[in-house]
Amino acid sequence: MDRRRNRKHSNNWNNQKRNEQSRENKQKSFQFNKALYEDQDAERQRLAAIQNVKAREIICPKCGQPITDIASAIADKSTGEPLHFDCVLNQVKQSEPTGENEKVAYIGQGRFAVLQYENIRDQRHFKIKKIIEWENREDQSQWREELSGLYSKIN
């Protein structure tokens, strides 16, 4: 009688044993290894710079609250200081009158827009009625340059 057709051996297909499979899977588990830096002084300076930025408390000039997520902050038009994104969005909403089926939204690169929807429930179809330039593309704030420099040190 052929072994492949025998019901006794149907659980052991292709000569594999369950105990051996479980041991192999445990041995193949991936483990993260921390990268070792050749220059310990550079690593210490990088960590000190990150701790310095985290220790600084940046206050929003608009609302007086600390800015916890500096990466999502937007520069003030006049001073260039960081502001909460929500503070800037509220200021733009107050300064721009919106009609029915219209909404103010951030469209990227420091710009806001007044969006006009055909149906306010269907927000996939809209027209940009007006673009509001908030941040100048050519002028980069000092705090943003420092932040981008720290991101490049981390990666």
Q: pLDDT tens track of the chain, all 155 residues?
A: 555 555 565 565 665 655 555 555 566 666 666 555 567 777 787 777 777 767 777 888 888 888 888 778 888 888 878 888 898 899 889 998 888 888 898 888 888 999 998 887 887 888 989 998 888 777 777 777 777 776 665 55
Q: How far apart are CA 71 and CA 97, in angstroms?
A: 29
Does the predicted TM-score (pTM) go above 0.85? no
What pLDDT is attached to residue 21?
Answer: 57
Measured torsion, CA atoms of residues 67, 71, 73, 76, in degrees rounded to the nearest 10: 110
* 126, β-bridge pairs: 117
Q: How far apart are CA 145 and CA 155, in angstroms?
A: 16
What pLDDT is attached to residue 63?
Answer: 85
SS3 144: helix
Q: How far is CA 23 from CA 15, 27, 148, in A?
A: 16, 6, 46
CA angle 102, 103, 104 (to 5 degrees): 140
What pLDDT is attached to residue 114?
Answer: 92
Closest to 109 measured CA to CA, from 82, 140, 87, 84: 140
In angstroms, the first-to-last Cα distance of the chain is 63
The phi and psi torsions of 65 (rounded to 5 degrees) equal -95, 150
